[in-house]
Amino acid sequence: MANSISSVVVTINGVNITLESQDGLTWTKTTTAPAASSFPLTGGYYPVSVTAQYATGTSTTVNDQTAGALGQACRLVVKEKVAPTASITGAFATNGSYLKVATQRLSLTLLDNANGQSSGYSGIDLSTLTAVFSSMTLGASKTKTLTSNDFTTSAVTGGYSAYADVTFEDADDWVLTVNVSDNDGNAMTALTRSFTIDTVAPQLTVTAPVDNLSTAASTVAVTGTTDSDATLTITVDGGSPTTVTVGQTGAFSHNVTFSASGTHTIVITATDAAGNATTITKSVWYSTDAPTITSVTLTPNPADGGATYLITVVAE
């Protein structure tokens, strides 16, 4: 009578799985794979041990260290299915932001433990990191693409923090698209941000008052033009700024009132959405005092008809 197999037991991740057979030759069992990715494990796989035993009690075991095809077959690769995530801090964090400095820092946090797990994830594959800056009007020739080599990275729990400085030669509307995958090939949902690079300060013209104006009127009109989308403020003598409405054509008009005689300083500032500012300062002398005439002298007096005479007035 020939020996026959009495049992086949497979051990994976510390769990023994007893297989079943209909013919005593082929043994099978449907089971559940480990929940955690095998990527962080040595060799990137779960080692599998298979022990077949005869009814006589003798047995044979093969595992991942067995030479040849059998050893290769005893290596279970498990991939997690949760995609990584990315978040942005700093300059590009807010969608639709206006930035006035041509060089900006892109700061990212890349995480593969999106559910907050402490283990079981495969980790961020930095080689897949891309950050693409696309101009809305200037065309593909102005597109900037950053890869992992352009970033300075440091490890954090679940992934990496990364930053790169980006210089824009052109003021324009831009779109940023960030992508990265984990080591099991799960790709994040692309993260996008729109923003505007604006390095040009708004135009500002002040038509009144003229600089160094002297006036007895306590109220003076400040008029002029600026960019229609600029924010205009007027400050008198270093006080709190007053925001002035700018018309659709860029024209503005605002009355300032002086409470005391003396030299007054009016500061007019136009600021765009990116924070670029243009400032014009006007000086105004305000006084209601009237001059005092202390003497009038006509020499000679009386004067000869048709002859010249000198008029002398002393006033202060």
CATH of residue 122's domain is 2.60.40.1220
Inside any domain, residue 309: no
Tell the residue number behind the tokens 């907050």, with chain if given.
Answer: 116
One domain for residues 169 and 218: no
Same domain membership, residue 174 and residue 99: yes
> Are 102 and 143 in the same domain?
yes
Q: How far is CA 236 from CA 37, 118, 168, in A?
A: 67, 59, 37
**Inside any domain, residue 166:** yes
Same domain, 130 and 192: yes
In a domain, 245, yes or no: yes
Pair 92, 191 in one domain:
yes
Residues 101 and 188 in one domain: yes
Looking at 130, 164, 197, the residue that finishes a domain is 197
| HEC-encoded secondary structure of 86-125 | EEEEECCCCCCEEECCCEEEEEEEEECCCCCCCCCCCCEE
Nearest to 276 by CA among 204, 175, 211: 204
Residue 238 pLDDT > 80, yes or no?
yes
Confidence at 101, pLDDT banded by 50, 70, 90: confident
Which residue from 94, 92, 89, 98 is spatially nearest to 275, judged by alpha carbons?
A: 98
Q: Which residue in 44, 117, 111 sits closest to 83, CA to CA?
A: 111
Would residue 252 count as lying in a domain? yes
Q: Say if CB 10 and CB 50 are below 8 A apart.
A: yes
- The length of the chain in residues reads 316
User: Is there a single domain that holds both residue 10 and residue 64?
Assistant: yes
60 lies in the same domain as 90: no
How far is Cα of residue 78 from the mean position of the Cα atoms in its chain? 36
Residue at a domain's end among 76, 102, 120: 76
Q: Is 102 inside a domain boundary? A: yes
- Contact at 8 Å (CB) between 162 and 110? yes
Residue 112 pLDDT > 60, yes or no? yes
Q: Please state whether the peptide bond connecting residue 302 to the residue before it is cis, i.e. omega within 30 degrees of 0.
A: yes
Same domain, 238 and 180: no
Report yes or no on 44 lying in a domain. yes
Query: Does some domain include residue 291?
Result: no
Tell me, what's the pLDDT at 158?
A: 92
Same domain assignment for residues 107 and 180? yes
Q: Residue 24 in contact with residue 4, Cβ under 8 Å? A: yes
Residue 222 and residue 192 share a domain: no
Query: Into how many domains does the chain fold?
Result: 3
Domain membership of residue 63 as a residue range: 5-76
Boundary (domain end) residue, out of 50, 76, 102: 76
- DSSP assigned state of 187: B
The answer to whether residue 243 is domain-embedded is: yes
Average pLDDT over residues 4-17: 94
pLDDT value of position 241: 97
What is the domain-level CATH number for residue 268?
Answer: 2.60.40.10
Is residue 1 predicted with pLDDT exceeding 60?
Answer: no
Q: Any idea of the CA torsion for 84, 89, 92, 95, to the nearest 10 degrees?
A: 80
Pinpoint the alpha helices (H) of the chain. Answer: 68-73
pLDDT tens-digit readout, 182-232: 999 999 999 999 999 998 999 999 999 999 999 999 999 999 999 999 999
Task: For residues 98 and 187, state if they share a domain.
Answer: yes
